[in-house]
Amino acid sequence: MSIEFDNNLPIYLQIMNYIKREIVTGKLKAGDKIPSVRELAAELQINPNTVQRTFQELEREEVVETRRGLGRYVTSEEAKIMLIKKEMAGDLLDHFINGMQELGFSNRDIASIVAEAVDANNE
């Protein structure tokens, strides 16, 4: 596991996003065990309390679940994973649309530019 961290953004958010991405792209599968706090902290060379916070937030969002005495696992609910995927797509879209609006494109322009780009990509 390796992450290029941006030291100016909260580290726990960056690890959360990283783990979500691993889940959505199938590198971590539904029901897989995830590393312990200590393992992940050592691997990423970051503060163990930061990893702890990451896992707490992921639990709160029901992305991972703790099984008593066994460790933490990726949620086994496929619906939850689809939801994460949609959220991540939503973030990408917001980012893209904001960028295009800043460049001065109207919503209609943006839609047609996207359609053209998708077509071009298929050829």
Binding site for another protein (CB under 8 A): 5-12, 38, 41-42, 44-50, 53
- Give 10 or 71: the residue with its C-beta nearer to another protein: 10
The least CB distance from residue 43 to another protein, in Å, is 9
CA distances from 1 to 28, 45, 75, 94 (A): 11, 11, 20, 28
Q: Which is nearer to another protein, 6 or 123 (CB)?
A: 6
Comparison of 6 and 78: residue with beta carbon closer to another protein: 6
Residues 70, 28, 30: CA angle, nearest 5 degrees: 65
Instruction: Quote the least distance from Cβ 41 to another protein, whole Å.
Output: 5
Distance CA 64, CA 44 (A): 19
What is the closest distance, in whole angstroms, from the C-beta atom of residue 55 to another protein in the complex?
14
Nearer to another protein, 5 or 105 (CB): 5
Q: How far is the CB of 24 from another protein (least distance, A)?
A: 24
Residue 31 sits at the vertex; the CA angle it makes with 9 and 10, to the nearest 5 degrees, is 5
